A and B are shown apart, each in its own frame.
Chain A
Amino acid sequence: MSNYEELFKPKEENQDKINLTKSLEENLKKVKRILKGSDDMVYREFNVGENQNLKFATAYAEGLADKVIVNEYVLKNLMVLARMTEPQVSNIREKVYELIKNGVLSVSDLKEVDDINVITDNILAGETVLLIDKWDKAIIISSKGWPMRGISEPQSDVVIRGPREGFTETLRVNTALIRRRIKDPKFKIKQMKIGSRSKTDVAVLFIDGLVNQDILKIVVDRLKSIEIDGILVSGYIEQLIEDNWRSPFPQIQSTERPEKVAANIYEGKIAIIIDNTPFALIAPTTFNSLLQASEDYNERFLMASAIRTLRYISMFISVLLPALYIAMLSYHPGMIPTELALYIAGNRDGVPFPAVIEAFIMEGSLELLREAGIRLPGPIGSTIGIVGGLVLGQAAVEAGIVSSLMVIVVAITAIATYSVPNYSFGSPFRLLRFAYMMGAAFLGLYGVVLVFLISLIHLTNLKSFGIPYLAPFVYNMSIKDLKDTFIRAPLHKMKRRPEYVAKNDKDRLSNHFNRDYLKKGEDSGGEK
Chain B
Amino acid sequence: MGKNNDIIASNQLFAILVNIVIGVGILTLPRTLAEKAGPDSLIVLAIGSVLFLVVALVIQKLVTKFPRKTIIEITNSALFKPVGFLVGLGYFIYTFTLVVLEVRVFGEITKNYLLVNTPIEIIIITFLITSIYLVRSGIESIARLSVIILPLSIFPAILAAAVAIPDLDFTYFLPILRTSWSDMMKALPSVFFSFLGFEFIVFIGFFVGDSKHIKKTTIRTVAFVSCVYFIFTAITIARFGIEESKNLIWPVISLFKSVDIPGTLLENVEVVIIATWLLAIFMTIAIAYFGATFLLSRLIKSKEQNYFAIALLPIIYFLALIPENIVEVTDFMNIFTNYMGTTFSIIIPGFMLLISFLRRKPKRGIKKNG
A contact residues vs B (CB 8 Å cutoff): 214, 331-332, 334-338, 340, 443-450, 452-454, 456-457, 460-461, 466, 468, 470, 473-477
Minimal Cβ-Cβ distance residue in B for A458: B133
Known: A446-B278, A450-B127. A460 touches B144 (CB 8 A): yes
Contact A449 B279 (CB under 8 A): yes
CA separation between A450 and B151, bound complex, in Å?
18
CA separation between A476 and B118, bound complex, in Å?
38
Contact A443 B12 (CB under 8 A): no
Specify which of A331, A340, A476 is in contact with B12 (CB 8 Å cutoff): A476
Residues of chain B within 8 A of A445, CB atoms compared: 114, 271-272, 275
Contact A444 B114 (CB under 8 A): yes
Residues of chain B within 8 A of A448, CB atoms compared: 275
CA separation between A337 and B260, bound complex, in Å?
11
Contact A456 B145 (CB under 8 A): yes
CA separation between A315 and B282, bound complex, in Å?
24
Contact B268 A475 (CB under 8 A): no
B contact residues, range: 35 or more
Contact B145 A457 (CB under 8 A): yes
Near A by CB (< 8 A), chain B positions 212-246 give: none
Specify which of A334, A444, A446, A473 is in contact with B268 (CB 8 Å cutoff): A334
Contact A454 B268 (CB under 8 A): no
Residue B110 at the A interface, CB < 8 A?
Answer: yes
**A-B complex: 9 closest residue pairs judged by Cβ atoms:** A476-B11, A474-B144, A460-B144, A460-B145, A460-B141, A335-B268, A446-B114, A457-B134, A445-B275
Q: Interface digits, B61-93 against A, CB 8 Å rule (1 contact, 0 not)?
A: 000000000000000000000000000000000
Contact A453 B282 (CB under 8 A): yes
CA separation between A34 and B123, bound complex, in Å?
69
Near A by CB (< 8 A), chain B positions 21-63 give: none
Q: How far does the Cβ of B206 sit from chain A's closest Cβ, in whole Å?
A: 20
Q: How far does the Cβ of B118 sit from chain A's closest Cβ, in whole Å?
A: 7
Residue B149 at the A interface, CB < 8 A?
Answer: yes
Residue B300 at the A interface, CB < 8 A?
Answer: no
Q: How far does the Cβ of B144 sit from chain A's closest Cβ, in whole Å?
A: 4
Q: How far does the Cβ of B306 sit from chain A's closest Cβ, in whole Å?
A: 13
Contact A446 B115 (CB under 8 A): yes
Contact A477 B279 (CB under 8 A): no
Contact A475 B271 (CB under 8 A): no
Contact A214 B147 (CB under 8 A): no
Specify which of A334, A340, A473 is in contact with B147 (CB 8 Å cutoff): A473
Q: How far does the Cβ of B229 sit from chain A's closest Cβ, in whole Å?
A: 19
Minimal Cβ-Cβ distance residue in B for A337: B267
Minimal Cβ-Cβ distance residue in B for A473: B148
CA separation between A337 and B275, bound complex, in Å?
19
Residues of chain B within 8 A of A443, CB atoms compared: 115, 118, 122-123, 126
Near A by CB (< 8 A), chain B positions 110-127 give: 110, 114-115, 118, 122-123, 126-127
Q: How far does the Cβ of A451 sit from chain B's closest Cβ, in whole Å?
A: 9
Residues of chain B within 8 A of A340, CB atoms compared: 265
Residue B366 at the A interface, CB < 8 A?
Answer: no
Residues of chain A within 8 A of B12, CB atoms compared: 474-476
CA separation between A450 and B126, bound complex, in Å?
8
Contact B266 A444 (CB under 8 A): no
Residue B1 at the A interface, CB < 8 A?
Answer: yes
Contact B279 A453 (CB under 8 A): yes
Contact B144 A477 (CB under 8 A): no
